[in-house]
Chains A and B, each alone.
Chain A
Amino acid sequence: DTAVSQTPKYLVTQMGNDKSIKCEQNLGHDTMYWYKQDSKKFLKIMFSYNNKELIINETVPNRFSPKSPDKAHLNLHINSLELGDSAVYFCASSPVRIGTDTQYFGPGTRLTVL
């Protein structure tokens, strides 16, 4: 059983399009995250949800909108895609929302904007 899963694994699209990435965790965790990994492999937090409540929103353009329908799912919708949005997006989850807990990462979604 995959603990944290993401769909799709690869996403290739044109500038200006709108796309969504889905994430699901079956670990029973309360907290979920979206991280962005750029072309230089640098990882940065984008959003965090705890029990469906937005906790962290780190200076991300408002073209990015996370949605958490329940605590097992965290989706990321991106409007008006730009070239600079090309990156690998990782979903992660942890039992609680403090910095001591192990975070479990999904396999990533590689987004390419043409």
Chain B
Amino acid sequence: AQSVTQLGSHVSVSEGALVLLRCNYSSSVPPYLFWYVQYPNQGLQLLLKYTSAATLVKGINGFEAEFKKSETSFHLTKPSAHMSDAAEYFCAVGRSQGNLIFGKGTKLSVKP
């Protein structure tokens, strides 16, 4: 069975600091991994996805993630946090049946 674990339900950083949101996956087949962002009272928006083409994936808004098979990880990073990055971030793995299995989410707070 596939699953995703997000370490840290809440991460707080200062504006301009590095953002690191952690995601580990479990999958018996090559995984398709996604990061989605949810702003307050909104739907989910895709940040980036890994589909085996390249291990370092660049997404929108300056975010990127690196797929590390040896560590079963797909951590999300951004070099410099902006106030507008404050949101809930979800890591997900795609199932062959089509749906996504989500982690429990990490709330990112950005302090001025």
Establish whether residues A99 and B45, one from each chain, have CB atoms under 8 Å apart when the complex forms.
no
Q: Which of A14-22, A67-75, A76-84, A100-108 contacts B (4 or more CB under 8 A)?
A: A100-108
Number of A interface residues at 8 Å Cβ cutoff, please give it: 29
Establish whether residues B98 and A43, one from each chain, have CB atoms under 8 Å apart when the complex forms.
no
**Given A99-B93, A105-B43, A108-B42, does the pair A50, B98 have CB atoms closer than 8 Å?**
yes
Establish whether residues A99 and B104, one from each chain, have CB atoms under 8 Å apart when the complex forms.
no
Question: How near does chain A come to B89, taking the closest CB pair, in angstroms?
Answer: 11
Q: Which of A11-50 contact B (CB under 8 A)?
A: 31, 33, 40-45, 48, 50
Question: How near does chain B come to A8, taking the closest CB pair, in angstroms?
Answer: 14
Docked Cα-Cα span, A98 to B99, in Å, equals 8
Q: Does B44 contact A (CB under 8 A)?
A: yes
Q: Which of A41, A55, A90, A103 contacts B104 (CB 8 A)?
A: A41
Docked Cα-Cα span, A7 to B46, in Å, equals 22
**Given A90-B44, A108-B43, does the pair A99, B102 have CB atoms closer than 8 Å?**
no
Question: How near does chain A come to B7, taking the closest CB pair, in angstroms?
Answer: 16
Q: Does A114 contact B (CB under 8 A)?
A: no
Q: Who on chain A is nearest to B102 by CB?
A: A43
Establish whether residues A33 and B99, one from each chain, have CB atoms under 8 Å apart when the complex forms.
yes
Docked Cα-Cα span, A106 to B40, in Å, equals 14
A-B contact pairs, 14 of them (CB 8 A): A33-B99, A41-B38, A41-B88, A43-B44, A45-B100, A90-B43, A97-B98, A99-B32, A100-B49, A100-B94, A103-B46, A104-B46, A105-B36, A107-B42
- Residues of A bordering B, CB below 8 Å: 4, 31, 33, 40-45, 48, 50, 55-56, 90, 92, 94, 96-108
